[in-house]
């Protein structure tokens, strides 16, 4: 496995979306993103990535140093991102999510890392979904309950509500299918939904959340009109936007531009979409001019070489 497909795919999506985060779809229809631009929302140079990528890289760095998984270490790295600018493009932390900051503050105050994440209904932003992809490289296609527990724990460091955890589970399941099989994006999503519904068949807590995922589980999502797709920072809106975009596009470039131009939470929708699109279409499908603009590209590729040694058990 070559993690740069998915991880660079994710970081590029983040960087494409950063300059237009919070812009409405209407604004982007008039003036769409067609290449890697800079400045805009955060006044950052082209190729600057945000929290989505930084926390993904922090997770990867922690797994490299502790392949057995050390949640203390993972949270320490998240805290160092927030306070010291570790894993950022230019040393400056920006675009910080509310639920994530509260969890880091609890950790800084000495709370057990697995008890830091927000567990209320309003804690269901996309802040764990945006950084969960590294976990998919550690688990088997036939997901065991230990694998799901790992996904839950990594999500729960910041986002501990069942809804966020199910979203992370489905996302990782799709990623794992794509990593292990030569199948289409649509088939990987379809099969993953089947697997998820089977996995939770006797789970009462899941039953309470099931309705929130109904447009996904019923596959209605594949055929919705763009006007029915929100792309906000709410985890369900984000996941719907990602799945809808993936099945309605035919290349890495098209997928990423379509996802970012949905507007609203552009960088995170771009990142989460870019992770799966990167795995499916491959690193070589990422436009070279986007790669050449990416901040700290060589540092990231070096980190991913080390990550590959862990996931391939070299």
Assess 50 for contact with Mg ion (CB under 5 A): yes
Q: How far is the CB of 87 from Mg ion (least distance, A)?
A: 13
Q: Work out the end-to-end distance of the chain between its first and last CA atoms, rounded to an integer number of angstroms.
A: 11
Distance CA 125, CA 97 (A): 8
Reading the block at residue 258, the tokens are 């379509």
Q: How far is the CB of 303 from Mg ion (least distance, A)?
A: 19
Interacting span for Mg ion (CB under 5 A) from 68-76, 187-195, 229-237, 263-271: 263-271
Interacting span for Mg ion (CB under 5 A) from 33-41, 51-59, 84-92, 198-206: 51-59
Assess 265 for contact with Mg ion (CB under 5 A): no
Interacting span for Mg ion (CB under 5 A) from 47-55, 183-191, 280-288, 297-305: 47-55
Q: How far is the CB of 54 from Mg ion (least distance, A)?
A: 9
86, 123, 195, 267: which one binds Mg ion (CB under 5 A): 267
The answer to whether 147 and 154 are in contact (CB under 8 A) is no
- Measured from the CB atom, the residue of 95 and 209 that comes closer to Mg ion is 95
Q: How far is the CB of 21 from Mg ion (least distance, A)?
A: 7
List the x/- string, 87-116, binding to Mg ion by CB under 5 A. --------x---------------------
- Measured from the CB atom, the residue of 20 and 157 that comes closer to Mg ion is 20
Helix (H) / strand (E) element for 281: namely helix 266-281
- Measured from the CB atom, the residue of 147 and 267 that comes closer to Mg ion is 267
- Measured from the CB atom, the residue of 2 and 268 that comes closer to Mg ion is 268
52, 61, 147, 237: which one binds Mg ion (CB under 5 A): 52
Q: How far is the CB of 304 from Mg ion (least distance, A)?
A: 20
Q: How far is the CB of 210 from Mg ion (least distance, A)?
A: 29
The neighbour count for residue 190, using CB atoms within 10 Å, is 17
Within 16-35, which residues bind Mg ion (CB under 5 A)? none
Q: How far is the CB of 289 from Mg ion (least distance, A)?
A: 22
Measured on CA atoms in the order 109, 113, 114, 120, is the torsion positive or negative? positive
With CB atoms as reference, the residue minimizing the distance to Mg ion is 50
User: For binding to Mg ion (CB under 5 A), which residues are involved?
Assistant: 50-52, 95, 267
């Amino acid at each position: 496995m070559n993690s740069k497909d998915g991880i660079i795919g994710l970081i590029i999506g983040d960087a494409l979306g950063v300059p237009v985060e919070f812009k409405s779809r209407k604004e982007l229809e008039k003036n769409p993103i067609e290449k890697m631009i800079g400045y805009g929302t955060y006044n950052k140079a082209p190729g600057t990535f945000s929290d989505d990528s930084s926390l993904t890289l922090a997770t990867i760095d922690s797994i490299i140093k502790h392949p057995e998984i050390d949640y203390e270490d993972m949270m320490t790295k998240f805290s160092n991102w927030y306070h010291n600018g570790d894993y950022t493009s230019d040393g400056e932390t920006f675009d910080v999510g509310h639920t994530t900051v509260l969890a880091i503050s609890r950790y800084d105050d000495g709370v057990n890392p697995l008890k830091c994440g927000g567990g209320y209904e309003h804690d269901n932003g996309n802040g764990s979904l945006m950084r969960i992809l590294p976990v998919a490289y550690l688990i088997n296609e036939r997901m065991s309950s230990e694998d799901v527990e790992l996904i839950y724990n990594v999500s729960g460091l910041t986002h501990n509500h069942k809804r966020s955890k199910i979203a992370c589970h489905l996302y990782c399941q799709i990623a794992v299918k794509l990593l292990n099989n030569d199948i289409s994006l649509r088939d990987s999503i379809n099969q993953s939904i089947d697997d998820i519904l089977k996995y939770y068949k006797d789970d009462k807590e899941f039953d309470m959340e099931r309705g929130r995922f109904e447009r996904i589980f019923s596959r209605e999502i594949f055929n919705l009109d763009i006007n029915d797709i929100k792309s906000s920072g709410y985890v369900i809106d984000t996941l719907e936007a990602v799945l809808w975009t993936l099945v309605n596009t035919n290349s890495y470039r098209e997928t990423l531009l379509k996802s970012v131009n949905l507007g609203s939470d552009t960088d995170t929708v771009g990142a989460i979409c870019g992770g799966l699109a990167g795995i499916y279409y491959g690193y070589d499908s990422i436009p070279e001019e986007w790669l050449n603009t990416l901040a700290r590209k060589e540092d990231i590729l070096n980190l991913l070489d080390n990550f590959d040694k862990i996931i391939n058990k070299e």
